[in-house]
Every structure is written in structure tokens, then in C-alpha cells.
């Protein structure tokens, strides 16, 4: 019999697809039929008999064939003629999509450069295995290698005549030699981007940078190599003035700006990598014969039986088959209290099993899991672009064309109408136009304001991740807030105890804390901490036992204590008076969790534990309402508790029991109504909505994933920081408008002067040296105006 084998990808999602043709980019691969490598019988990837070998999955028709293969895998692999069924190998790069961070519409299935702007394409979906951005490494290397050369060229240009080390003509040659590697090597990526922008008819900042740098450099090269072509009026101190330092400094500053931008952009993928890092690397799979083995998570398939031991993460989405335990789902819901899971209950991958052992059946693996869907939601939201950015690119395109047109017009008009040597005058004036219109002031107008504003915000406990957040925050008219950890402290604390007749409140707390002192449950810790704070002496507990989902019992001071919910009391036959039930409901309506305590079969008291509202929350919400912002609360907590907190804080619009996708949909629906939406949250469950909102605001006391998904982080977790950030946003945008206005006015006046508009009247021309000085002064003015933001309150 012909023996064949089939090698599978390590990705479950790809394994399921291999029975059909799969498209990867422009290539379609036909997948061969699966066959048992031992006997050659046809099998499917749903066969319960499978084995991993060499990082690949093999499927068998029976346990006998599986055992044979396990004992001598090489024998059966060698005996399988590859000609009959060539193995199909998929690398991790298969199906990977790369996109341009500036032009998200550019997508392809292999690395490369953006055809519009020349920037290196980045993976659309980062993975934990991704290395540091190669473009960041490249620019960093170019910057540090050429920075000393830039310093030397600048020092020579500014102080060379004072130092007297070289005659000025020789100094020009020295500056040329030092500038060559800066311009032709360090600046080469910018010229590529500039060229791509011309070829693709999408002029942008790289067009201006390329033209300005080339104009300064080429002019200086000609002035050094052929100084005789210039009129004597341009000779100073024994040479024609050169501007190698302008080209060198432009390249070095642009490299530095790109390095800082790339480092900031790397934080975008940090949120996704944090999410991916939540999933465990392995799972414990149970075979049909009852044996267990640890396998990589990528080898887990639907319908696999998996064991989840206490303290381990749930590997994939599935359903409980055996056992019961409290599972911490805070990564999904953001709520701190573990949820009891019994046979038939659903489990979510990456949640933490805190107490008992569970046996589960895998239902959703790979891309279909809840965690994978959250990752996808965050990635999609992060790739969306702000409308202001598109508008700015559009305006910049017209500005670039206007500058180029002005330079060409200057060259032609002077060449035709100017005095002799007319074309030399035309070239010099055209270079002056390009130098004075070099995008330094325009390029600094926004970044300098942003840089100063972010520094000022940091001193006030507000961290901005990008310029879009500062631009958009002032326009926000709706704020969505999470409850736990955002409005509240996020740490349950003991509220009060209501004792039965004949016992004190402190005694109820002491007994409950004594019983629960060995528990890790957050509610138990809240009571134990309260007992310690009140100076109560806890007794020793014997025969402690936890009844999952309903409470605990044990022996304290020769009394049998029960602590839990009404179900535990009913199970143990403890009578509860209707007035006690009413009191418990009233406390729950206030947002508290209630536990009942019984001693020797008699009700002893009830205890309430609640997550207190932050002291600053009410003041912060009042300030935001006064600013005209509509407040909406969205929480994964129960509707009753959510409404109770909302009532306390005066929030009328409350959404309870919402999942991450629901929060994201809420953001989308409000945006569809024309609202500018900010989202404030602290948990992983808030990440998709934080990323999609016009402004995502994370609490600094929350998770790394939330902070990486948000554009603004409040370091102290104080909502009053939103009002502070809004004020800073208004001041910053006003400052940016002033800078941009000055830059455009400067160009509107400077370009005609550089073109020689006043020559017929005054006989005066603006030399490239004066143009470079004006360019530097314009930059200094923009910087000085931006620095005023340091005093913003």
C-alpha cells in the first residue's frame, strides 16, 4: 500500500483551511489530501488520533497507527514517497500583510517600501516574534554615524574664518568632503521618498525636504567647484558663500525627527503585543487513553480535551467538562471578582483559573478566539487615520507645488529678463527661493508645539501619545467612562456589617475575617484588611472548606461558621428573615457585594463590600459637564450596580454588562451621530474602544494594554486630568495655529523677496546666505512661541 504523509502548519487556523485551496497574496496553493503516514488511509484533521513531530501535526486512522508512528517516526516519514503527495510547509510569514503607516490603503503580502512616500512597510498585525523596526535601526545608525560630521561642518561654517585654520577656499572643499556622506548616504532615504512622491504625483513634506536640501547642496557644490560662474558680489572673504551646513543640519534634524516618530509608532504595536502575551504558550492536552502531555498552544485544535490546573491560564476558548473553579476574567471584563465555572459553563482563553482543577473542551482556537478578536479590533482601530491628517497632507501638496512653481518662475523670468549674466542670477535667486521656503519653519510649527505641550502635560500627570490626541481633545463633546478603576478605586473595601440581635458589628467582622483569612478572594481580603485596620484579633480557623460559587465554611472558636450568599444559607437550612433580605437588596442597589454570616446554623449578620468611588471623580465630572461634555458610563458590571454608581455621580446614561465589542460599537454609534468621542478606561476590555475613540484616555493605574491602546494616559488615574488635558489641548492648538500662520506669512513675504521682486526698485537681491539666515530666524521664532506653552496652567 502506498504510504503518504502530510505536514501541517503550526497555526490551527491554517490547519483547518488546508483541505481547500488557500490564497496567499497573489498565489493560490492547492492543499493535498490528508493521509495516515503509517497505513496510508485517508483521514481528516478532526481525527482524535494525532501527534506532533518536528513542529508539525500528523493525523492517524487509529490509536494503533499513532503508537507505531510514535515509536519510529523516521521510519514512516522516510517510507512516504514525497512525489505522491508533496508536503506543504507554511512559514509564519505566509498570509502576513504589510502596510504603510502613512498610507494605510497600501497593503501587500511582502515587505518593501510604500510606492507613495517611500517609507518602509510595517506588518499590519504585529507578533511577539517581531524584531525592532528595521527602519528605526537604519535611521539610528545613519544619525549617529553622521552627527559628528554635521557638527564639524556647522562649526566650520560659523567660526571657520575666526579660527583661521584654513583659507576660505580650502575650507569650502573640506566642508564639501564632510557633507558628501551626510547628504548622499544619511539623507538618501529622504531623496527616495521625495522621488516617489513626484513619481506618484503625491507631493508631501519629503518633496520639500529633498528640494531644499538638494538646492542648498548643489548650489554649494557649484560654488566650490566653479566659483567663477558667480558674480563678484557673491564673493566674501575669498570665496563664494556656501551652505553645506544647511544641507547637513536639515538631514540630521530630519533623521532625529524620524527616529523619535518611529519610536512613538512602535508603541502602537506594543498594545497588540501585550494582548498576544496574555495567552499561555502551552496547553495540557488529554489523549483518549487518558494520558496527558503539554503541547504548544498552536497545536491545540477544536474538540481537544484540556486540563487547566489551579494557577494556570485557560489556554483557549471552550466549555467546562469536569470540575469547578473560580476564574479571574478581569482581562476580559475589567471586573476584579472571580467568576465561578461549573460543567457546561463557557471559558475564555487567557483568563486565570484561581482555585480548582478543570477539564475543558476546546471550541474556539486561533483567530476565532475572543482574545484574537480583541487583538483584531485594536489593530483595526489603530490603523484608522484622523481626518485632520488627511487635510494637512492635501494642503501640503498644494504648498509644495506653489514653492516649486515660484522657484521655476524665478529662474525663467530672470534668465529672460534679468541683467547679464541673467541665468546665473536666475539660478541664484531660484536657490534663494527654495532655501527660504525650506520646510524648517513649517516642519517645526506643529512638532515644537506638540513637544512642549507633551512635556508640560507630563509635569501635570497627563501623558499624550500623539499629536492627534492633542488636536482632537479640545473638540470632544462625549466622554465614555468605564466604572471599575476609572470612576472607582478598583480595589474592593469593607463597607459595613449589619449584625443580628445580640451581637456587635465588630464581632460580625471579626468572625467573618477569621474564617476568610486564608482566602485570596478580593472580597475576603477586603474584610481581613478592615479587621486589621480596626485592631481586631483574628481567631484560628479549622476545617476550612470552600464551596465554589456560594461561599465558605469552617470551625472558628468551636463554632461552625458559614459565610456566603443566600444559596449557601438555604443549602445549610439557615433561616433568613425578610428584613435581612431587604437590607441586602438595598446595599446591592448602592453598588455593594453582600455576604451572609451564620454561626451554628443561626443567622449572625451580613457584610457589605464595595468598590469606593474615587474622591476626585465627582469634582472631575462636574468640571467636564460645565465644559459641555456629555458623560456616558459603560461597564461590564451588573446593570443594578452600574445604575447605583451612576445615580451617585449624576450620570443618567448608563450601560451595564457590556463586552469589549459592545463598548467599541457604542463608540462607533456615537461617532456616526457626529459626536467627537473620548473613552476613559483602565482594563484590557477597554482596549478596542480606547483605540477606536477619537481620543482614548487610560488610567495610569490600569493595565499596560489599556495605556498602549490609548492616546492619553492619566498617570495618577485622576479624572480631573481630563479637564487639565483639555485646557492644554486648547492652548496647544491655538499655539500651532499661530506657528503655522507665522510660517505661511513668512513664506508669503520671503519668497517674493528671494525671487528678486524688489530688484527693479532698490537694486537689491537676497543672497542665499541671507535666505538661510532668514530660514534659521523663522525656525527660532516658531520655537520661541512654542516654548510659551511651558507656562500653561
DSSP assignment, residue 118?
-
Annotated catalytic sites, by residue?
A: 482
Cα–Cα dist 10/16, whole Å: 11
Task: Report how far apart, in Å, the C-alpha atoms of 413 and of each of 527, 726, 748 are.
Answer: 87, 50, 19
* Vertex 529 angle, CA 523 and 534, to 5°: 130
Three-class secondary structure assignment of 702-769: CCHHHHHHCCEEECCCCCHHHHHHHHHHHHHHHHHHHHHHHHHHHHHHHHHHHCCCCHHHHCCCCCHH
DSSP assignment, residue 183?
I
Cβ atoms of 255 and 142 closer than 8 Å: yes
Cα–Cα dist 324/711, whole Å: 40
Cα–Cα dist 176/149, whole Å: 11
Q: How many CB atoms lie within 10 A of CB 778?
A: 23
CA 446 to chain centre: 22
Task: Report how far apart, in Å, the C-alpha atoms of 477 and of each of 18, 671, 709 are.
Answer: 49, 11, 21
Q: Which helix (H) or strand (E) holds 784?
A: helix 768-787
Task: Report how far apart, in Å, the C-alpha atoms of 786 and of each of 269, 475, 738, 740, 780 are.
Answer: 30, 21, 9, 11, 10
Candidates 159, 523, 520; CA nearest to 512 is 523
CA 627 to chain centre: 28
- Beta strands 712-714 and 695-699 are parallel
| Residue 698 half-sphere exposure toward CB, CA atoms < 13 A | 28
Q: How many CB atoms lie within 10 A of CB 616?
A: 14
Cα–Cα dist 31/22, whole Å: 8
Amino acid at each position: 500500500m502506498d504510504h503518504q504523509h502530510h505536514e501541517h502548519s503550526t497555526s490551527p487556523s491554517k490547519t483547518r483551511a488546508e483541505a481547500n485551496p488557500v490564497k496567499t497574496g497573489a498565489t493560490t496553493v492547492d492543499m493535498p489530501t490528508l493521509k495516515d503516514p503509517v497505513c496510508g488511509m485517508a483521514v481528516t484533521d478532526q481525527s482524535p488520533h494525532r501527534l506532533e513531530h518536528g513542529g508539525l501535526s500528523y493525523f492517524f486512522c487509529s490509536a494503533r497507527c499513532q503508537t507505531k508512528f510514535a515509536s519510529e517516526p523516521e521510519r514512516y516519514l522516510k517510507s512516504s514517497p514525497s512525489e505522491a503527495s508533496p508536503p506543504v510547509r507554511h512559514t509564519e510569514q505566509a498570509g502576513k500583510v504589510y502596510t504603510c503607516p502613512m498610507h494605510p490603503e497600501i497593503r501587500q503580502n511582502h515587505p518593501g517600501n510604500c510606492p507613495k512616500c517611500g517609507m518602509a512597510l510595517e506588518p499590519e498585525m504585529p507578533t511577539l516574534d517581531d524584531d525592532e523596526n528595521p527602519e528605526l535601526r537604519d535611521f539610528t545608525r545613519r544619525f549617529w554615524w553622521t552627527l559628528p560630521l554635521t557638527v564639524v561642518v556647522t562649526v566650520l561654517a560659523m567660526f571657520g574664518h575666526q579660527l583661521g585654520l584654513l583659507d576660505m577656499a580650502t575650507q569650502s572643499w573640506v566642508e564639501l568632503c564632510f557633507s558628501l556622506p551626510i547628504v548622499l548616504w544619511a539623507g538618501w532615504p529622504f531623496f527616495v521618498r521625495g522621488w516617489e512622491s513626484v513619481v506618484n504625483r503625491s507631493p508631501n513634506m519629503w518633496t520639500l525636504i529633498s528640494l531644499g536640501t538638494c538646492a542648498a547642496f548643489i548650489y554649494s557644490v557649484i560654488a566650490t567647484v566653479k566659483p567663477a560662474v558667480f558674480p563678484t558680489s557673491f564673493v566674501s572673504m575669498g570665496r563664494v558663500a556656501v551652505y553645506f551646513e544647511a544641507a547637513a543640519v536639515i538631514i540630521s534634524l530630519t533623521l532625529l525627527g524620524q527616529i523619535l516618530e518611529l519610536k512613538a509608532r512602535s508603541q502602537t504595536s506594543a498594545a497588540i503585543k501585550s494582548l498576544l502575551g496574555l495567552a499561555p504558550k502551552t496547553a495540557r492536552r488529554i489523549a483518549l487513553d487518558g494520558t496527558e502531555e503539554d503541547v504548544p498552544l498552536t497545536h491545540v485544535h477544536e474538540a481537544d480535551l484540556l486540563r487547566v490546573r489551579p494557577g494556570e491560564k485557560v489556554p483557549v476558548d471552550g466549555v467546562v467538562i469536569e470540575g469547578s473553579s473560580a476564574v479571574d476574567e478581569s482581562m476580559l471584563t475589567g471586573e476584579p471578582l472571580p467568576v465561578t465555572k461549573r460543567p457546561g459553563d463557557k471559558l475564555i482563553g487567557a483568563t486565570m483559573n484561581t482555585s480548582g482543577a478543570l477539564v475543558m473542551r476546546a471550541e474556539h482556537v486561533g483567530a476565532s478566539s475572543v482574545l484574537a478578536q480583541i487583538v483584531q479590533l485594536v489593530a483595526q482601530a489603530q490603523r484608522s487615520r484622523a481626518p485632520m491628517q488627511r487635510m494637512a497632507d492635501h494642503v501640503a501638496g498644494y504648498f509644495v507645488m506653489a514653492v516649486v512653481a515660484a522657484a521655476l518662475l524665478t529662474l525663467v523670468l530672470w534668465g529672460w529678463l534679468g541683467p547679464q549674466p541673467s541665468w546665473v542670477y536666475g539660478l541664484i535667486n531660484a536657490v534663494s527661493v527654495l532655501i527660504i521656503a525650506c520646510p524648517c519653519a513649517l516642519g517645526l510649527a506643529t512638532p515644537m508645539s506638540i513637544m512642549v505641550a507633551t512635556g508640560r502635560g507630563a509635569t501635570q500627570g497627563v501623558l499624550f501619545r500623539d499629536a492627534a490626541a492633542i488636536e482632537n481633545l479640545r473638540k470632544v463633546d462625549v466622554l465614555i467612562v468605564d466604572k471599575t478603576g476609572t470612576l472607582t478605586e478598583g480595589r474592593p473595601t469593607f463597607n459595613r456589617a449589619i449584625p443580628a440581635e445580640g451581637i456587635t458589628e465588630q464581632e460580625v467582622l471579626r468572625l467573618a475575617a477569621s474564617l476568610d483569612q486564608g482566602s485570596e478572594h478580593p472580597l475576603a481580603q477586603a474584610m481581613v484588611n478592615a479587621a486589621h485596620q480596626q485592631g481586631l484579633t483574628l481567631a484560628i480557623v479549622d476545617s476550612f472548606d470552600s464551596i465554589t460559587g456560594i461561599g465558605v465554611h469552617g470551625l472558628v472558636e468551636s463554632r461552625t461558621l458559614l459565610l456566603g450568599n443566600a444559596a449557601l444559607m438555604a443549602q445549610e437550612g439557615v433561616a433568613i428573615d425578610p428584613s435581612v433580605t431587604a437590607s441586602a437588596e438595598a446595599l446591592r442597589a448602592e453598588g455593594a457585594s453582600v455576604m451572609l454570616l451564620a454561626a451554628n446554623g443561626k443567622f449572625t449578620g451580613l457584610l457589605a463590600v464595595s468598590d469606593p468611588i474615587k474622591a476626585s471623580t465627582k469634582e472631575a465630572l462636574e468640571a467636564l459637564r460645565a465644559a459641555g461634555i456629555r458623560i456616558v458610563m459603560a461597564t461590564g458590571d451588573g446593570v443594578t450596580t452600574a445604575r447605583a454608581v451612576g445615580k451617585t455621580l449624576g450620570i443618567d446614561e448608563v450601560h451595564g454588562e457590556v463586552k469589549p465589542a459592545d463598548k467599541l460599537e457604542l463608540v462607533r454609534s456615537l461617532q456616526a451621530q457626529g459626536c467627537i468621542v473620548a473613552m476613559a478606561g483602565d482594563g484590557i476590555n477597554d482596549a478596542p474602544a480606547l483605540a477606536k475613540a477619537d481620543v482614548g484616555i487610560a488610567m495610569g493605574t490600569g493595565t499596560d494594554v489599556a495605556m498602549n491602546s490609548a492616546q492619553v494616559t492619566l498617570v495618577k488615574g485622576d479624572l480631573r486630568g481630563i479637564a487639565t488635558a483639555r485646557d492644554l489641548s486648547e492652548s496647544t492648538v491655538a499655539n500651532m495655529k499661530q506657528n503655522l500662520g507665522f510660517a505661511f506669512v513668512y513664506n508669503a513675504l520671503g519668497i517674493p523677496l528671494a525671487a528678486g521682486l524688489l530688484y527693479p526698485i532698490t537694486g537689491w537681491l537676497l543672497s542665499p546666505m541671507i535666505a538661510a539666515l532668514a530660514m534659521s530666524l523663522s525656525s527660532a521664532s516658531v520655537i520661541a512661541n512654542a516654548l510659551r506653552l511651558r507656562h500653561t496652567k
